[in-house]
Structure 1
Amino acid sequence: MATTEHVEAVRAFNRFYTAKMGLTRGSYARPLPEVRVLYELGQGTEEVAALKQALRIDAGQLSRVIAKLEEQGLASRHVSPADARRQLVRLTDKGRERFAQMDAESAQQVGAVLDELGDAAGVVEAMRSLQSAIEPQGTLTLRDPEPGDLGWMVQRHGELYGREYGYDQSFERLVARIAADFDPATDRAWIATIDGERVGAILCVHVDAATAKLRTLLVEPKARGKGVGGALVGQVVRHARTRGYRTLTLYTNAHLHSARRLYERAGFTLTHEEPENAFGHEHVAQTWSLTLNP
């Protein structure tokens, strides 16, 4: 049973933390719900239902926050091309600029605080322990594929990309061909699970003696933000480097912002892009590359 002392200790910590981390000034000097919605939009979350789940916010309050962002020219609403009943929210050019500014300021402020500490690693570990104590995340595991996993990967790609981006069935057929061509003698696959439940997948496909290709990265919506995508991409990079490949490449589309951020963090750089009509839409197709063993 929480005592008055416990409650006051938590409130005191909240006041200390928000002031210390600069959450009451700069780009963060706006209502917290607006900041959180901007962040989720900047991470590539577009569907209103997904925003509501990620923020754990009342639907009415979320609608009011989105309306304020629209009034400021930071966001715009759209009907999902896959389902007219679903609503999407996207950052405008002005919104992306504001998010980039906010994100950079936040990173600078947090970095400055950590630089002042004698044991930054210990503080970060304590934060992780606190997060785990408040809300256990489950155990993330990357395992080899089992019977049925490749079929599940194809199905979920078709369903998620159709619902979130309006892709037609040609995308699901593409993923099915990739799965059919998977060769365990030369290729590797990993299935991400949390407490045994499948939440993600990725392939590393052999191209030639010098080159491998990262393919079919998938993270279930409910597992996003839990490190699943980073763990999968990191696993492919480690495997490709260990196998002696010199270069790791991948194909993506410019509008897949969350995936692109994962690739950038892993060290990939954009090497080529061009307009493409695929999966029922006009896209900007991109090729990214990572030098492993020069």
Structure 2
Amino acid sequence: MRVIITGAAGFLGRRLVHALVEKGAIVGPSGRAEPITELVLTDIGPVSPPTVPEGCTVSAIQGDLSDPAILAKVTEHPFDSVFHLASQLTFHAEADPDAAWAVNVAPLQALIAAAKGCPRIVFASSIAVFGGTLPTEVADDLAPLPMTTYGTHKAVNELILADASRHGRIDGRSLRLPIVLIRPGVAQPVVSDKVAAIAREPLEGRDFAAPLSAQTEVPVTSAGSVVAGLIALHDADPSRLPPKRALNLPALTITVAEMASSAARAGATGRVTIQPDADMQAVVDGWPSHFTSRYAAGLGIASDANFDAVIADYLAHRDL
């Protein structure tokens, strides 16, 4: 099995690479689990190849997927599976939509064009495909109405994958992710990281002023649940996929106060205070507080049991 992972040096990419090496095998064209014999890891940043068992090789390709030469190198040889995580995020996509298209959409089109033998392509989509006035609970079948360029590109990719699958060129699957916690490192000026910081900063011994009211509900998941969900979706029998081949990763709904309490139980030494920011509160209030799926459980995809589990996942893997 030759497996490509884009965005392999990122927060989720590193976790996925580690999980696949540990697992050693995924479902192949035969419909049975087959050993992973080659990992192709690509990212715009430096990629650190992991240690792999005998019988498996690793190649690392550093470069921008909007560069045709990099894409040609990634797709030079036939592949059996792709986990497509690479993406330009909201801030940059809003500033330059055309450049974002070259990163967010064109590489997927190139992967499909290079496909031979109907490989499986698993795409990390996003809650951002939904927008407008949302119900409290957003399930798989709600019509996408993205309100950002980033969300639009995710929705476009879902349709591209579904159409290419209908033509039998690939076997595509999309998993829409809620807010993924807890990204390591220092605080970043994006809303999702401000949410992550409510737990991360106290756990790292730093005080943090939460920009949201204590009872604000947020749909979250751990990186570990995302990785497990991506692999489970890859291995699922095609006959069990939803008609659109896209589904939500069920989220854990948690309040800001509960996040802070969970961090304290885990031994956090930093303090969390509440200093609501009206603009940030408005953004988060526009998110669905419950992100659900009627297909996920049947495919072995689940939310975290509680926020203590999210924190435990972070503490166990923050140095990965």
Sort the TM-score into its range (normalised by shorter chain): under 0.3
TM-score under structure 2 length normalisation = 0.25
Higher helix share: 1
Max Rg structure: 1
Q: For CA contacts below 8 A with separation 6 or more, give which structure has more relative contact order.
A: 2
